[in-house]
Chain A
Amino acid sequence: MKKKNLLAIFCALTMSAAIGMMAACVPSDDPGNTPGGDTPGGDTPGGDPQTVYGLPVAESGHYINNSDAFEEDGTRWLFYTTNETSGEEDNVIAVRKASFEEGADKGWAYGEETVALRGTEGGWDEYLGSASVVKGSFEYGGAEYGYLMAYCATPQANETQFSIGLAVAQSPDGAWTKVGTQPVVAFDAANAGSAQTAVGNYAPSLVNYDKEGGVRLFYTFADSYGHFAKFVDIEASDLDAPVLSGEAVVPNHGEIEGGDAVAMFPNADFVYDASGKQFYAVKDYSPTPSQAPAFARRIQLLSIAEGELYTTDLGEGWKGIRTWDNTDTPDGMYERLYGACIVSDAYGHIDGAADAEIVYNICMLEADTDDYLFTQNLMSFEIALS
């Protein structure tokens, strides 16, 4: 987000040390040159593209968070939020394309970063982030598009009152066109507790349910009563006249790990297993620590029978699959794990998959560095689902 507050001097040494500790990341010989940077990717990227094996690492003065990843025909697309200017929180949504290379010290080879979407100054989405992208068949403004993005944004500089908007593209790496001038799920002050400070609608997560135009938009709604997952079904084949269902709060019973009196479901990413008729979700643990940063310290992977989303009859609810905390990070050094996504196919499905890859965020503590926000990077776990 474009908070214009300049940061204190960034501690490059600390950052470098942190990067070196990331086990899931396989750095190139010169990991710091291209990813991130003063003008990361850019609309007209130039220079010498560098291949990054393993998840990309934010350049000095930058951060990467709120990722979304899918694979299509042997290609992986990684979307994430980053800051466009070193030392500022001027969020953009960026994308990198990766292909898998066999060999020692190789793996997913990520190309350079491209800015997919920027906020519109003075618009409802001036401060944006947290993209989720699915493939499908979408028509908008007389043109056909193959990819749909949901993102959250707000005109408020204080990270409150988020809404969710849509954008379309013919290829994941753009160009992306925003759908309309208003959000598809707007912040509603009349229905938010303590509206001035309510976070609102964030963490969109798309699933293309029928792999055509029937899209399910999951998101988190947060206000003074807590953070809970919701979804709305959108018939998005004609985005000039999308048809929205009523919203539905996702069940919050079952094996949900958390320390709240009422089980919350914050900052979650969802994928669909159509063959097993179930949904998977990876969510943040709640509550968050009081010590900055107020990001979650655990993430949990869960599944639920699809039918339970459509009824208020209490079934088994969510089944917990795995919870990760700092002890699962290299040398147990990261006390913040949050903002995870499940790598899926282009439609947000993992139909019949035996295992899954979870991409998540880590961050250092304020106690370790004043510039902790700029230590946000991605790591990943793999887990068997059956």
Chain B
Amino acid sequence: MTKTRTKALALLLGIGFTMSAVCAALPASAVNVDALDTSTQMTYPFEQGEDAFRYAPTFTMAAEAGAGNNKWEYVEVKFDGGAKDLRAAEYLAVQIRVDQGDPGLTLGLIENGDRYNNSVGGNAFYFLSEDGTIREMSCLYSAINLGAGACGTLLMPMDSMGWQWNNNSSDLSAVTAFYYTTSTQFNYGYVLTIGSIGYYDGEPGAADTQFVTLADCSEGERSKDLYYVDAVDPDCMKMPSDAGIVEPEAPSIAYPFRQGEGADAWAAVWQGPVNGDSAANWQTLTVKFEEAAVDFSEASYLIIQYQGQVGAPGITFGLENKGARYSVGAPEADGKPVYFMGETDETSRKAANIANGAVTAGSVTGIMGAMIIPMDSMAWQFGEEENRDLSAVDTLVLTTNSQYNYNFRILIGEVGLYTGEAGNCTFTKLLDLSSDRSEKFAVTSDLEANRGTLSFVEADAVRETMGDATVDIKGEGKTNSSFSESGSTGNVVINGSYGSLEVVEDSYGEDALQLTATGITGDGFTAFTLSEGENIDWANGKGVSFWARNDSDAEVSFNLEVDCRIASGVSSRFNILQGSRYWLYDVNTGKTTIYMSRPTATLPAGFEGWVRIPFSAFERASWSSGVSKEEFMSEGSVVSYFGITISAASYLNQSFSINNIGAYSTTPQFSSSFVDAGGKTIPELLGLN
């Protein structure tokens, strides 16, 4: 990109300009052109003063730290008129006001789902205040803090930005939107107003530089469908005209489905494909009712037992009558509300507004409850006219496009409908799962090669235990997986450095997971995600218990990555540091050892047996915050993520196997031929003897 710089003669600013879609910046009355810096004199590109943001939406983001399970809140501002070619852009200009707080913003551009943003730490960005002063800001941890109360234009040099990911060979030739995202783990309680957006094709202030408007807020409020939010509060965006408008109230209804333990019996668990597609690939889950056809003509709400377990895919809910679909995917449904009621809640709440024909219910991920879809929030999307009849609905249909939504897992249980007004309505159950009705569910996709899977929660599935230890994560049900230069396969997510997972037999002939770091790339650590979103309760445990075998010929170490979410909703990552004592019971030698982490969980060469690592060995990861060591595994906490990381550099191709991961409730005691401390040994506690 051309480097020009405008040195400084004072320029009278303060005059408001109504910008056309393309307009020339005022010529700088200076010579000696060079790159933008804090001394650059330039014309303010947007409207100034009291009315500068009079048509701009305001975004009130999560109020609490960690809200939505450390949700990454996301706001997208789509460009006027569709995709724009930004290959000539030198600086992106975003009219923005920080109304409250001072968040660290990750901002950038969207093209084909790829993100071009400020992901490179240390690079300079600039903030042009309405008074013409320019501040330089440095990007840290892929985030920029604009400063509390900042009001002006964010200037983002395009060469200070980069592709955070680019899976579709994007080249900035068809950019569709500007976006920002923040994690509620670190950024909450802030309010932003975003106005017009444009770009400079040269140095701001240079005579031949053009300013191009991408999203124009100067003439009036833009259509709400030109914005997309995925936030803890789906109504976080307010247009100036929204002031005084009363939001529709969440319906007051009684929770109609099973609650508590066993509430998920025989429910279907829809696992999306691990990897996304390069083009549209519609994944579809169909659910049949008890009756072949159901009359929805008097229904006020469609209600579905639902739990988002992993991810927050955009789901299009619909009802079909002989192929005609009545759905949230109809264009007129966009912007309408969909509600959710947790199984222990007394009232429902808004889960999301329908956007782009889908419901993205990230704010309720992890919660078992009911998705409540007003019939008014759906409309006929397609189908033969004669079949557009709600009196004979034969199928509930859920669809999502795995080009954008993949590696998700959602639970769909019983289905029903309400008739009448909320507060005085009648519930009718359409699908009862008090018994195995798996034949009512089916999944399909456009491309058979990359299709989601379906499994069912067995009704009698009580929590599996071995002696005093729970068994929460098993090799059973996993498939061989790999992540290499050629891509990913399998149903276990592997990322970071290259790695493979192979299903092998443990000491008892059960399926176990053999993990291997197979190549060094990225941060040098191979990560295996073994549980995500299952919210495992280890709160009453003493530590982690698992079976393991060192399949290599030398000592091998790995770390256990545990996200502990406490009752308040705050979550933090914990893992093991060097110097902590833990237990090894070798099933071949019969000996129990108190070993030490070297530098993390370590299996000696030749070891095969049971490992018990006390929770006291875990410390909060240096980059994580929120949950204290004292709160780790406290009452009411759950494990929302469990993974294993291996230093690929240190343990390349050194395989080990693991199975039956859970929590133990009794600390073993060391004993020998002449010492009996009174406690039980690991085989006694596990009932192996």
Once A190-B553, A243-B673 are accepted as A-B contacts, the answer to whether A248 and B605 lie under 8 Å apart by CB is: no
Bound state CA distance, A193 and B598, in angstroms?
Answer: 9
Residues of A within 8 A of B311 (CB): none
CB of B578 closer than 8 Å to a CB of A: yes
CB of B579 closer than 8 Å to a CB of A: yes
Cβ B553 vs Cβ A248 within 8 A: no
Contact of B672 among A191, A233, A311 (CB under 8 A): A233
Contact of B581 among A193, A209, A249 (CB under 8 A): A249
Cβ B593 vs Cβ A248 within 8 A: yes
Measured CB to CB, the closest approach of chain B to A148, in angstroms, equals: 14
Cβ A228 vs Cβ B674 within 8 A: no
CB of B595 closer than 8 Å to a CB of A: yes
Contact of A311 among B591, B599, B670 (CB under 8 A): B670
Q: Give the residues from 598 to 619 in chain B that come closer than 8 angstroms, CB to CB, to chain A.
A: 598-599, 604-606, 612, 614, 616-617
Residues of A within 8 A of B592 (CB): 245-246
Cβ A191 vs Cβ B582 within 8 A: no
Measured CB to CB, the closest approach of chain B to A256, in angstroms, equals: 11
CB of A314 closer than 8 Å to a CB of B: yes
Cβ A312 vs Cβ B581 within 8 A: yes
Cβ B578 vs Cβ A310 within 8 A: no
Residues of A within 8 A of B599 (CB): 225
CB of A7 closer than 8 Å to a CB of B: no
Measured CB to CB, the closest approach of chain B to A255, in angstroms, equals: 16
Bound state CA distance, A72 and B16, in angstroms?
Answer: 100
Cβ A311 vs Cβ B675 within 8 A: no
Contact of B554 among A190, A228, A252 (CB under 8 A): A190
Cβ A311 vs Cβ B667 within 8 A: yes
Q: Give the residues from 245 to 259 in chain A that come closer than 8 angstroms, CB to CB, to chain B.
A: 245-249, 251-252
Bound state CA distance, A190 and B654, in angstroms?
Answer: 12
CB of A210 closer than 8 Å to a CB of B: yes
Cβ A228 vs Cβ B583 within 8 A: no
Q: Which residue of A lies closest to B670 (CB)?
A: A310
Bound state CA distance, A310 and B674, in angstroms?
Answer: 13
Measured CB to CB, the closest approach of chain B to A221, in angstroms, equals: 9
Once A191-B604, A312-B667 are accepted as A-B contacts, the answer to whether A225 and B677 lie under 8 Å apart by CB is: no
Cβ A309 vs Cβ B667 within 8 A: no
A246-282 interface mask toward B, CB cutoff 8 Å, 1 = contact, 0 = none? 1111011000000001110000000000000000000
CB of B392 closer than 8 Å to a CB of A: no
Q: Which of the listed residues B543, B669, B673, B679 has the most CB atoms from chain A within 10 Å of its own CB?
A: B673
Residues of A within 8 A of B586 (CB): 246
Q: Which residue of A lies closest to B577 (CB)?
A: A262
Measured CB to CB, the closest approach of chain B to A88, in angstroms, equals: 36
Measured CB to CB, the closest approach of chain A to B550, in angstroms, equals: 9
Bound state CA distance, A139 and B669, in angstroms?
Answer: 30
Cβ B583 vs Cβ A249 within 8 A: no
CB of A307 closer than 8 Å to a CB of B: yes
Contact of B669 among A226, A245, A263, A311 (CB under 8 A): A311
Cβ B677 vs Cβ A249 within 8 A: no
Q: Which residue of B lies closest to A213 (CB)?
A: B674
Residues of B within 8 A of A228 (CB): 579, 596
Contact of A312 among B579, B614, B674 (CB under 8 A): B614
Bound state CA distance, A245 and B589, in angstroms?
Answer: 10
Bound state CA distance, A323 and B85, in angstroms?
Answer: 72
CB of B594 closer than 8 Å to a CB of A: yes
Once A191-B555, A251-B581 are accepted as A-B contacts, the answer to whether A235 and B673 lie under 8 Å apart by CB is: yes
Q: Which of the listed residues A188, A246, A248, A262 has the most CB atoms from chain B within 10 Å of its own CB?
A: A246
CB of A313 closer than 8 Å to a CB of B: yes
Measured CB to CB, the closest approach of chain A to B24, in angstroms, equals: 61
Q: Which residue of A lies closest to B586 (CB)?
A: A246
Residues of B within 8 A of A210 (CB): 674
Contact of B674 among A188, A209, A263, A311 (CB under 8 A): A209
Measured CB to CB, the closest approach of chain A to B681, in angstroms, equals: 10
Cβ A248 vs Cβ B594 within 8 A: yes
Cβ B579 vs Cβ A263 within 8 A: yes
Measured CB to CB, the closest approach of chain A to B504, in angstroms, equals: 21
Contact of A214 among B555, B598, B673 (CB under 8 A): B673
Cβ B593 vs Cβ A246 within 8 A: yes
Cβ B605 vs Cβ A233 within 8 A: no
Q: Which of the listed residues A191, A251, A312 has the most CB atoms from chain B within 10 Å of its own CB?
A: A312
Residues of B within 8 A of A313 (CB): 542, 614, 616, 667
Bound state CA distance, A209 and B675, in angstroms?
Answer: 9
Bound state CA distance, A226 and B589, in angstroms?
Answer: 27
Measured CB to CB, the closest approach of chain A to B673, in angstroms, equals: 4
Residues of B within 8 A of A214 (CB): 672-675
Once A225-B598, A248-B594, A249-B594 are accepted as A-B contacts, the answer to whether A235 and B674 lie under 8 Å apart by CB is: yes
